[in-house]
Amino acid sequence: MKIIAVIDIGKTNAKVALVDLDRFEEIAVRKTANGVSNDGLYPHFDVERVWRFIAESLAALHAETPIDAISVTTHGATAVLLDANGDLALPLLDYEFTGPDTLSAQYNKVRPPFAETGAARLPMGLNIGAQINWQEQTYPEHFARVATILTYAQYWSYRLSGVLANELTSLGCHTDLWNPQTGDFSTMVDERGWRPLFAPVRRASDLLGGLTVQAARDTGLPEGLPVFCGIHDSNSSLLPHVLTRPAPFSVVSTGTWVVIMAMGAKKVALDEARDTLINVNALGDPVPSARFMGGRAFSMLMKDQPVTPSVEAEAAVVDRLRMLLPSLPEGSGPFPHARARWTCDEASLSPAERLAVVSFHLALMTATCLDLIGAEGEIVVEGPFAGNQAYLRMLAAATGRPVLIGSQSATGTSLGAACLADGSRAQVHTTRFSNEAPAAYRAYAQAWFAEANRSDVV
């Protein structure tokens, strides 16, 4: 196998990419916005619209470059409830919908402890267990028709191959459903009687089967084309590094969520209240992790307007200690109960200064997360933030550790998912960030940490 088609479904965007395993790079891609539908029972993902995009994209890409196999990676915090016919028994709940919060008190009594699952209690539907609990309690007639529960990546693998499966990395990402130490479902799954509903658990790299007749007809690809099980997107970014890089190291995967995963970390007590957690990597190993909505914060603060970076603007921000303190958006990350606060007149900042303040804020949120999970060694930054010099400069200054620049074009998830077809061909393309920051950056970081951790801020 040489050309792997990767279906990559994020919260904000969906794409289908071709990865050349020999060159280990993305050679073609098609993208679309991935919105939420507000009709029906509750806000949900429109899977049929996404399927049409997948089918059309696979057909168009295959016509240009023949595809040898298909792999899938998606965001987490999404469960798919199917009826006996393999159709949706309930819509795919948008994990930012607040409906599950209405049953928080009841759910908190039945969810497993953090010590068992390594899953922090998160708001909305960010714990899959909370989603399923809310759906079961709110729509009992619909839930009575549920025959199978799938994790999200494996739903698309099922649409392609007809094989029902769940998978370790998707079950192990703050779901409340999985015990990473025993490698089995959590006690809550049995207590609620859900275990029989879950499809068999497979490894991400398992070959599920071949493209079905219907999927082949929809996509124009050959029937029987290999379809691999699929993987959670943060673990997809991590996988090439796990396969090629000696521990200790950390990977900072940036997108809507910034997810920090530490291999070979020193043992620390994770703080459930600060959005630290245990993920499970593609090899089945527990990985200390932390997260915050960095990409969402950047979009909210910068409105995605192009701004020319300026080292002079950075220096002015550092010199005057102009800061944005956590946290935006509220409710998750290492400062979940804090409200964002500027230490300067926000309106007085030039666009370049604003970019510097926001970038520094995101770097220092990242550094906080790294510290909370006991991360050591090199720090690899993947995704859009890998191209942000101010972010990289402050991250290096704040941590005092080597910062490596990984893929800047958000292809890390696609490359990792392609590894599922042949892990022996995994590669990592990183360069060391060598633009050292002046000592004043370290002083700025220390001042930011002191302010962020003040009792009247958190």
Burial of 312 (0-12, 13-18, 19+ CB in 10 A): exposed
Instruction: Name the band, by pLDDT with cuts 50, 70 and 90, for residue 344.
Output: very high
pLDDT, tens only, 426-445: 998 899 998 888 999 999 99
**Quick check: 457 pLDDT over 60?**
no
pLDDT band at 135 (very low <50, low <70, confident <90, very high): very high
Q: Which CATH homologous superfamily contains domain 3-229?
A: ATPase, nucleotide binding domain (3.30.420.40)
pLDDT band at 111 (very low <50, low <70, confident <90, very high): very high
**Do 180 and 283 touch, CB atoms closer than 8 A?**
no
What is the mean predicted confidence (pLDDT) over 71-86?
Answer: 97
CATH annotation of 234-452? 3.30.420.40
| Domain residue spans of the chain | 3-229, 234-452
For residue 325, pLDDT beyond 60: yes
**What is the CA 340 to chain-centroid distance, rounded?**
23
Q: How far apart are CA 104 and CA 99, in angstroms?
A: 10
Asked if 277 and 290 touch (Cβ cutoff 8 Å), the reply is yes
Task: Report pLDDT for 256.
Answer: 85
Q: Is the dihedral of CA 62, 11, 125, 269 positive or negative?
A: positive
**pLDDT of 455 strictly over 60:** no
Query: Which two tokens mark 109?
Result: 């009594």
The pLDDT > 70 percentage for the chain reads: 98
Q: How confident is the model at residue 16 (pLDDT cuts 50, 70, 90)?
A: very high
Residue by residue, DSSP assigns 158-194 as: HHHH----EEHHHHTSS-SSEETTTTEE-HHHHHTT-
Cα atoms in the 13 Å half-sphere on the side-chain side of 34 = 25
Highest mean pLDDT among 90-99, 115-124, 332-341, 425-434 belongs to 90-99
pLDDT digits (tens, 9 = 90+) for 179-237: 999 999 999 999 999 999 999 999 999 999 999 999 999 999 999 999 999 999 989 98
**Other C-beta atoms within 10 Å of 282: how many?**
25
Mean pLDDT over 109-117 rounds to 96
Distance, in Å, from the CA atom of 367 to the CA atom of 24, rounded to the nearest integer, reads: 30
441 token code pair: 């950056």
**Mean pLDDT along residues 322-329:** 94
Is 0.85 surpassed by the pTM of this model? yes
pLDDT single digits (tens) 399-412 = 999 999 987 665 67
Q: Which of 173, 198, 233, 171 is nearest to 7 (CA)?
A: 233
- CATH topology identical between 3-229 and 234-452: yes
Q: What is the pLDDT of residue 411?
A: 67
pLDDT of residue 403: 97
Element (H, E) at 322: none
Average pLDDT value for the chain: 94
Please determine, for residue 456, whether its predicted confidence score (pLDDT) is greater than 70. Answer: no
Structure tokens at 362: 């995101």
Helix (H, G, I), strand (E, B) or coil at 287: strand
